A = this chain, B = another copy of it.
Amino acid sequence: MQNDDKIYISYNQVHKLTKEAVERYRINEIYKPDLMIAIGGGGFIPARILRTFLKRQSGQNIPIQAIGLSLYEDLVTSDPDIIGTQVIKTQWLQFGPSYTDICPLLGKNILIVDEVDDTRTTLAYAVQELLKDIEEEKLKFIETNSAGTPIPETKLAIFVLHNKKKEKRMELPDPSIVNEGRYFAAKETPDKWLVYPWEANDIDEHTTKSSLQENNE
């Protein structure tokens, strides 16, 4: 069988990768997330699977908030060294009335979830925008608490199924995510085209290709 330059990933592989990563990074024991933020649409499926394996001491599910980000790469530019990139928000956080907390992000361990870290542009944008929201919450906190009350510490982390080993176009605006070990990639992959199962037109054919590749590894 001729192998093209794509990597086919089955649903069961995604499920196992997620489970193994939670155990390997000891996410429940060390990071202990309070909240997931799924970047749609790619982050929706990993986030839902993660919820099965992430456990809080209370026994309750980790809540998932969704944000919508789209990456537009504008390759038409007068300077060939500049690749214009733009991320647009199609949905942002809107905590429902069940959140009585006026600072729903502050003091939380927030796990940002996406399928793949390719150029890092989308993830960097998500972190940048969340940091702005957290800064706003800090101001609200200072306004509504007596002087000197310590501001609760908020810790961002990232979970992706795949991190492509390549030069990244952007750095994360919060370097502590990488430096303090809160960047969780279930798998490192070469810079190839990853075909996720949810994109498959014929899922049987896709699963067969995936298991052939797995057996050849």
User: B42, B64, B89, B97: which contacts A40 (Cβ < 8 A)?
Assistant: B64
**Number of identical protomers:** 2
A47, closest chain B residue (CB): B44
* Complex CA distance for A31 and B41, rounded to whole angstroms: 22
Which residues of chain B are near A97, meaning CB under 8 Å?
88-89
Contact present for B88 and A68 (CB under 8 Å): no
Q: Does A65 contact B (CB under 8 A)?
A: yes
A44 near B48: Cβ-Cβ < 8 Å: yes
Nearest-neighbour CB distance to chain B for A202, whole angstroms, equals 9
Q: Do A88 and B96 touch (CB < 8 A)?
A: yes
Question: A7 to nearest B CB, angstroms?
Answer: 18
A213 at the binding interface (Cβ < 8 Å): no
Q: Mark A112-126, 1 if CB is under 8 A from B, else 0.
A: 000000000000000
Scan residues 98-143 of chain A and give those whose CB is less than 8 A from a CB of chain B: 98-99
A residues 73-107 near B (Cβ < 8 Å) are 88-99
A49 at the interface (CB under 8 A from B): yes
**Per-position binary interface string of chain A over residues 41-70, scored 1 when its CB falls under 8 Å from any chain B CB and 0 otherwise:** 110110111011000000001011110101
Stretch from A8-16, A161-169, A178-186 forming part of the interface with B: A8-16
Neighbouring B residues of A203 by C-beta, 8 Å: 12, 15-16, 19
Give the distance to chain B from A64, nearest Cβ to Cβ, in Å. Answer: 5
**How many chain A residues touch the partner (CB < 8 A)?**
44
For the complex, is A197 an interface residue (Cβ under 8 Å from B)?
yes
- How close is A108's CB to chain B, nearest CB, in angstroms? 14
What are 25 A-B contacts with C-beta separation under 8 Å?
A10-B11, A11-B12, A11-B197, A15-B197, A15-B198, A16-B203, A19-B203, A38-B66, A40-B64, A44-B45, A44-B48, A44-B66, A51-B198, A63-B68, A63-B90, A65-B66, A65-B90, A65-B91, A66-B68, A90-B95, A90-B96, A91-B93, A91-B96, A92-B94, A92-B96
Chain A residues with CB under 8 Å of chain B are 10-12, 15-16, 19, 38, 40-42, 44-45, 47-49, 51-52, 61, 63-66, 68, 70, 88-99, 197-201, 203-204, 207
